[in-house]
Structure 1
Amino acid sequence: MPEKSSPTHLSSLPRPAAPAVAATGRRVPGRRWQLSVLSATVLTDNSESSVVSTLFAAMRQTLGMTLGHLGVLQAMSRVVGAVFGPLWVAVARRTGRKAVLVATGLWMGLFIAAGGLTREFWQLLVVYALAAVGAAAGQPIVHDVVADLFDEGTRGRAIGTMYGGITLAGAVIGPVMGRIAEVPGGWRTGFFVTGALCVLAALLVLCCFRDPGSGASESAARAQGTAPQAGAFSRVTLRRLFRIPTFGLMVVQRLLSGHLLMATFGIVFLTERGFSTGTAALIAVPTGAGYLLGSVVGGVVTDRVHRASPDHGRIWILQGLQLLYAVLAFLGTQLDWDGIGAYLLLFGVMAAVQGANPGVNRPVVMAVTPPELRGPAFAVLISVAEALAYALFNLGAGALGDTIGLQQVFLWVLVVLMLVNAAFCGVLHRTYAQDVARALEGRV
């Protein structure tokens, strides 16, 4: 008779590498309604930076601002976010995520509205910095909650739907703000309206949001294997995060994401091409529609590709998006087109490609981190890495835009750097599958 294998003998055999398969999760009741409520928070967080970009052409005359001033405003906002984003996540772990979202939303609304009362640039800088303190809380906390609302197989679609809805609302608000800016002193009204929207979003969260709890969407087996902790940014937490190779690579990838610059200087670029602020602000319509299409369709496609190729699907899509954006940015910013129509089309397609990114990169981070590390992970990824990249791009573009022109800045940041980004994403093929397997087995 063949000798019976002992447990010790079996444990000594080599184990095959575990594929990056999606674990079967649990369905959280009312998750789509909760996603809609959270979308309002992210929309108002984004409006904190977009209101200045949209109204800049009108503000620069009243306050004596240059492109350099615009770059300083946006960079300062992101630096403040890099400091306070992690702090708000730590506070949320102790006091509750809902309480932080409500308090910071009200805070942000108050100080954005105060921006409409400023008379000099330094006054605007101060109130804008204070508004950024509140805006820093939204995105890392919301993404932490989304991972608890949706399981691994549906997160791409959920993130895509959220960003699509946000952009659709922005496509309506943007042109309205542009028209308001053309009225003498209208930019002040733009700040008042934006502040009021932030307050309304905070009240919506207060009345309608229900926190699902950490790990609510995980499979029962995985949820039992995790131990969410109250602490957030201890050295131990950061060491655990950066011991995940894929997470470290994703932080670098976000630092190379040059398309973040378009949110600030897209409209300004078109005004330098000779279009009025009202006409330039029309790009909010095709970019909003494009971002919506890219977010929703991209999220659905990414989930399907991930199910077909769990080890590499998301990474191939991430690479392709960076490469395609670089090509479109060259066509849209380095060639002169007659009339606004061509720019509307190209900027809309660029926005679609950019809109597909959150439905890929956010689920990648969610897949390689356990529930108790996701809040800190998104604080590092969004509040720190994206914020610092955004700050550096805006400072550089603001300073260089006044000397060499935005077209040359866009060539290096939107085209060349995005090609580098696409090549860099290839390294993720070597780490992603193993990191997902480690997370599923509780070895992170």
Structure 2
Amino acid sequence: MEAQITKSTPVEGETQARHVPHRWRNLMVLTGVSVVDNTESGLTSTIFPSIAAALKLNSGHLGLLAALGKIIAVPAGPAWTWLAGRIGRRKTLVLITLVGGLFGAAAGFSQNFTQLIIFNALMSAAMVGGVPISNAILADSFDDANRGKAVGYFYGFISLISSFVAPVIALFTGLTDGWRYGMWTIGAICVLAGLVVAGLYRDPGVGAAEKQLADLSESKRNLSRVTVASVLSIMKVPSFSLMMLSRLLSGHLLISIFGIQFLVTERHFTNAVAATVLVPFGLAYFAGTVGGGWFLALLDRVIPHRGRVGYIQGAQVFFAVAAFFGTQFHYEGIGIYAIFWALMGFGQGLNPSVNRSIVAAVVLPELRGQAFAIFLTIFETIGWALFSLGAGALATSLGIQTVFLWVMVILMIVNAAVLTGLYAVYPRDVARATETLERRRQEALGQS
């Protein structure tokens, strides 16, 4: 069905982006799809200490559990994105959540680690599909000037919901085999998210938010056919390649895997008490994503293009400093750790609004779904797997604290340095994408 767009008064000689209907409702609906297995805030790791106690596991098993769940995303993410292009994004999102819920519930019946890792991996393979599809939908719903704010709200709400749901799920760990109830709850959340999508989601249409294409019908937007060659061509965009490299160096993602395990095994808090730091983490993450999105919009007006580069570099450095003081020293009581977890949450929250906006700005609309699949389910997965397996193995001999120093502090500083390359290539890549969209508009108007 052709997406409807609300007209606005254009400035003479220019086209303007239109307000895509249902965009804010869609944003809220999509948060449920990404809550369970979103990279920045997974729920399974929250109850792992209790799973470890019940099944006699250690940090190495946690690394393997997290790594396999992400490795399977390499083929699954692009496959779900391909399916969305064939049967529609709404049907695909519903299927993703129902399948994910089924395997999440099955994981709660696991009798050993082998069964647990298989069902958890299958749940991840399903739920990971919602990540690139949701990001592509947001890019189609909000123009470049407002995309950072929208992404900030999206990931902010995901973390906010997770920060309250995760401690509630952790309360089950006080019961005998309470982790099973936690997994069943996670499965139920997946199913509920699918039902909400089925009832409330309305697809905006590919390219609906681009000012060059917004006032054209979807059939006249002259979107190129997505082929293997066109998808591979994304890798030739210098800014996109740099963002992929940066994703491999994003050591801050390790906090969501080993953060609670660190507080339990090396700071000797109980699972339930340790999980309370997720509340300030989530609140601060929300503040970072939302506030960061608004600050990014201001930077775009004052320092076009290059302001985004300085912003994303600053986010890496801020997190590294917070992680250093939050994990490399011993403090009394959970309260001080809650403060540092809040600072790390804020630093991590600064990232989604800018890195998703950078990718969307240099990739053409019809390729954004696959671009986000590559960005979030392939390159991120490679880094995630290396960090999870390596950190899990090293944690058993060196301790999680030492691993955190190298991955969440030193590597993050290296990441900030690597991103310097965007100052040269990002403005050129944005100009190239804009010229292509302008040419498509002129061709469409010439044919009408």
The TM-score with structure 1 as length reference comes to 0.92
Give the corresponding residue for 2:197: 205
1:275-294 equivalence runs, <5 A: 275-294=269-288
User: Do the aligned partners of 2:41 and 2:162 also contact (CA within 8 Å) in 1?
Assistant: no
2:223 alignment partner, one of 224, 228, 237: 228
User: Do the aligned partners of 1:94 and 1:230 also contact (CA within 8 Å) in 2?
Assistant: no
Determine whether 1:35 maps to 2:30.
Answer: no
1:385-404 equivalence runs, <5 A: 385-404=379-398
The alpha-carbon distance between structure 1 residues 48 and 296, as it changes in their structure 2 partners (threshold 3 A), is: closer
Partner Cα distance (2:341, 2:307) in 1: 26
Partner Cα distance (1:259, 1:48) in 2: 9
Give the corresponding residue for 2:444: none
Structure 1 residue 222: Cα displacement? 7.7
1:251 alignment partner, one of 244, 253, 259: 244
Structure 1 residue 97: Cα displacement? 0.9
CA deviations 1:84-131 (Å, max 9, x no partner) are 101111111111111111001100001001111011110111111211
Partner Cα distance (2:377, 2:423) in 1: 25
The alpha-carbon distance between structure 1 residues 53 and 45, as it changes in their structure 2 partners (threshold 3 A), is: closer
Give the corresponding residue for 1:190: 182
Range with bigger deviation, 411-420 or 217-226: 217-226
Determine whether 1:72 maps to 2:64.
Answer: yes
1:89 alignment partner, one of 81, 96, 99: 81
Partner Cα distance (1:327, 1:282) in 2: 22
Determine whether 1:442 maps to 2:436.
Answer: yes
Structure 1 residue 387: Cα displacement? 1.5
User: Do the aligned partners of 1:241 and 1:247 also contact (CA within 8 Å) in 2?
Assistant: yes
The alpha-carbon distance between structure 1 residues 23 and 70, as it changes in their structure 2 partners (threshold 3 A), is: farther
- Tell me how many residue pairs correspond in the alignment: 421
Structure 1 residue 51: Cα displacement? 3.1
| Letter of the 2:255 counterpart | M
User: Do the aligned partners of 1:24 and 1:151 also contact (CA within 8 Å) in 2?
Assistant: no
Give the corresponding residue for 1:378: 372
Determine whether 1:320 maps to 2:320.
Answer: no
The alpha-carbon distance between structure 1 residues 287 and 168, as it changes in their structure 2 partners (threshold 3 A), is: same
Range with bigger deviation, 43-52 or 74-83: 43-52
Partner Cα distance (1:339, 1:48) in 2: 25
User: Do the aligned partners of 1:256 and 1:389 also contact (CA within 8 Å) in 2?
Assistant: yes
Structure 1 residue 386: Cα displacement? 1.1
Partner Cα distance (1:258, 1:163) in 2: 18
1:153-164 equivalence runs, <5 A: 153-164=145-156
Partner Cα distance (1:230, 1:113) in 2: 38
The alpha-carbon distance between structure 1 residues 48 and 324, as it changes in their structure 2 partners (threshold 3 A), is: closer
User: Do the aligned partners of 1:321 and 1:353 also contact (CA within 8 Å) in 2?
Assistant: yes
Partner Cα distance (2:54, 2:337) in 1: 28
User: What do you get for the CA RMSD once the two structures are aligned?
Assistant: 1.8
Runs of 4+ in 1 over 6 A off after TM superposition: 222-225
SS of the residue corresponding to residue 276 of structure 2 reads helix
The TM-score with structure 2 as length reference comes to 0.91
User: Do the aligned partners of 1:227 and 1:372 also contact (CA within 8 Å) in 2?
Assistant: no
CA deviations 1:399-428 (Å, max 9, x no partner) are 010110001100000011000001111110
| Letter of the 1:374 counterpart | R
Determine whether 1:172 maps to 2:167.
Answer: no
CA deviations 1:212-240 (Å, max 9, x no partner) are 110001113588695334535x03321x2
5+ unaligned residues in a row in structure 2: which ranges? 1-13, 440-448
Q: Percent identity?
A: 42
Determine whether 1:141 maps to 2:136.
Answer: no
5+ unaligned residues in a row in structure 1: which ranges? 1-21
Structure 1 residue 274: Cα displacement? 1.1
2:50 alignment partner, one of 44, 58, 72: 58
User: Do the aligned partners of 1:51 and 1:194 also contact (CA within 8 Å) in 2?
Assistant: yes
Partner Cα distance (2:299, 2:292) in 1: 10
Structure 1 residue 81: Cα displacement? 0.6
Structure 1 residue 24: Cα displacement? 3.9
